[in-house]
Amino acid sequence: MRNRKPDAKKGSWDSVDMEKAIQDVMKNNMSERKAAEMYSVTRSTLKRKLKEARMNGTDAVSYKPYTVSSMKIFSVEEEHQLVRYCLSASKMGYGLSTVKLRSLAYEYAAKLGKRMPHSRTVGSDQNSWEAHEKAGKDWLTAFMKRHPDLAVRKPEPTSIGRMSAFNRHNVEQFYSNVRHVLHERKLEPHQLWNCDETGVTTVQVPERVIAGRGEKQVAAVTSAERGTLVTMCNAVNACGTSIPPFYIFPRVHFKEVFLRNSIPGASGTAHQSGWMVESTFIEWFKHFVKHVKPSTDRPVMLLLDNHETHLSLQFIDMAKENGVTVVTIPPHTSHKFWT
């Protein structure tokens, strides 16, 4: 209801129309009903403004429509401090909910000794900050409108390990290693490769469809009701060139029929879980060497995440034999480096 558009006959007039209506009623003896209809103003508001004019002994009362500034409790600088605090808390992974922001605004206003809204009618504390020890919903709506750089977002769950691992020291150490390899090997963009894997389900989530209102169940035809996970691993270089994909199927034995309708050059293997493990990663690296053709005379650099399945002794020996320098990103930082 706070964001609804005003009716054509309610709240759509300006102060000039209200002034004219008051003038005709008080000076020209026009009835309140006729003045309200003539100037398209609400009769109840006109009646209230006329009462104020007669009590003040004047024939004109200025009318100021509602704006978002009417809900301001804090100064401009004080609100900017609230905005900065909200943004800083969000970047640290401890963003404020709307309820917590309202509670913080109340505590902030109480500390500064601000005059806070109170209940307008006896027995009603809907608009009272002190009754609930938090700012009102109307204040929150106006505050968000005044600061469009803020928005209510649904956060992604991120562990404390990921949050703490992505720091200045780890990032600088990673780029220092990359610069060292580039300078020592004198590598060009087409020799810089990045590798990562992703899980793909065999049954996609159906999109929303139009159905009868009140239907208890709505079905959509898919290949199966519960899908299986297939891992795809690929590599792309700094020029944008990629090798054919490599798949890990959740099977005991791999069959060539699994690659039917795939792109030319694609390969794969099988594992009961369908996930990347040390043995399947070795198979992928053979696939990588086959298409990239690195050697000690034509070295390349391969960027990987620091997962245990990527760092087996067999893989390190194979990389050294084929002139592949492996640089890993710090642990628990792929959500930042790979986005």
- Residue 203's pLDDT band, with cuts at 50, 70 and 90, is low
- Residue 293's pLDDT band, with cuts at 50, 70 and 90, is very high
pLDDT greater than 90 at residue 59: no
Number of domains comprising the chain: 3
Q: Which residue has the higher pLDDT, 290 or 213?
A: 290
Q: Can you give the pLDDT at residue 66?
A: 46
Q: Which residue has the higher pLDDT, 15 or 180?
A: 180
**Is-contact 21 31, C-beta < 8 A?**
no
Q: Can you give the pLDDT at residue 163?
A: 58
Taking the CA atoms of residue 230, residue 231, residue 237 and residue 239 in that order, the dihedral angle to the nearest 10 degrees is: 30
> Residue 17 burial by CB count (10 A; 0-12/13-18/19+): exposed, middle or buried?
middle
- 59 and 77 part of one domain: no
Tens-digit pLDDT profile for residues 216-245: 554 544 444 455 788 999 999 999 999 999
pLDDT greater than 90 at residue 22: no
Tens-digit pLDDT profile for residues 92-140: 667 888 888 898 899 899 888 888 887 444 444 556 788 888 898 889 8
Alpha-carbon torsion (282, 284, 288, 290), positive or negative: positive
Burial 54-75, CB ≥16 within 10 A → b, else e:
eeeeeeebebeeeeeeebebbe
- CATH no. for residue 302? 3.30.420
CB atoms within 10 A of CB 208: 7
- 211 and 134 part of one domain: no
- 307 and 180 part of one domain: yes
Q: How many alpha carbons lie under 13 Å from residue 103 in its C-beta half-sphere? A: 5
pLDDT greater than 50 at residue 263: yes
Q: Where in the sequence is the domain holding 24, given as residue range(s)?
A: 15-65
- 134 and 220 part of one domain: no
Q: Are strands 267-270 and 300-304 parallel, antiparallel or unpaired?
A: unpaired
Query: Looking at residue 312, what DSSP letter applies?
Result: -
Specify if 155 maps to a domain: no
| Spatial separation of the C-alpha atoms in residues 214 and 111, rounded to whole Å | 52
- 113 and 253 part of one domain: no
- What pTM value is reported for the model? 0.50
- 44 and 82 part of one domain: no
Specify if 42 maps to a domain: yes
Angle ∠(203,242,307) on CA atoms, nearest 5: 70
Q: Can you give the pLDDT at residue 324?
A: 94
Q: Can you give the pLDDT at residue 210?
A: 57
